[in-house]
Amino acid sequence: MRKLFLMGFLLFAIASCAPSKVVQDSRKVIKGYWNLDEISYSEKGTFNVQLFHDTSTECFEGSTWRFIPNNNTGLYSIENASCPVGDRNFVFTIQEVDKATGLYDFLLKPTNAKGKSESNMGYRINLQQLDDNSMQWMQTVSLEGKPFNIYMNFSKISN
């Protein structure tokens, strides 16, 4: 009886550590190549925004992103000739925030080509929408002491 109880407890512990079905499904959908089509803001106006301590939003628009969910890595390529062009590597995780609503967060951490973070900085982004063709991220930052949302809209290129 004691062994049966211990086995049941171990199975429960292992199952509770596994990602939820929503997270597993989102990993399947996010796999592949995406284009960052548009970046917009919750407020009207012109803003000098630098994403991920890298470069301006103008440089990010039109960038190509690749997500490899089996090892939680990826890269994005800035191709705008008036910007610092090239590939940037990152690691990511998808974390479920609320099972009832299906909301989840996307955690992105820039790395070098070997997967090591030089600054150990990461960014929490709300994954607002994800399907086979499109994805929307929302990052909330502070502007003059008030919440300011940055929306990033992606379209899927291929698997």
Question: Model pTM?
Answer: 0.79
Q: What CATH number has the domain bearing residue 147? A: 2.40.128.280
* Number of domains composing the chain: 1
In a domain, 143, yes or no: yes
In a domain, 57, yes or no: yes
Specify the pLDDT at position 4: 46
In a domain, 3, yes or no: no
Contact 125, 94 (CB under 8 A): no
Residues of the chain above pLDDT 90, percent: 53
In a domain, 15, yes or no: no
CA 4 to chain CA centroid, Å, is 41
Specify the pLDDT at position 28: 75
In a domain, 66, yes or no: yes
Name the phi and psi angles at 121, rounded to 5: -90, 145
Identity of the residue numbered 72: N
SS3 content of the chain, % helix, strand, coil (to 5): 20, 50, 30
CA 6 to chain CA centroid, Å, is 37
Q: Which of 9-18, 34-43, 142-151 has the highest mean pLDDT?
A: 34-43
Contact 137, 129 (CB under 8 A): no
Residue-range definition of the domain harbouring residue 154: 20-158
In a domain, 127, yes or no: yes
Q: Which range has the worst mean pLDDT, 24-28, 40-44, 120-124, 129-133?
A: 24-28
Identity of the residue numbered 143: L
Looking at residue 81, the DSSP 8-state letter turns out to be T
For residue 51, is pLDDT > 70? yes
In a domain, 54, yes or no: yes
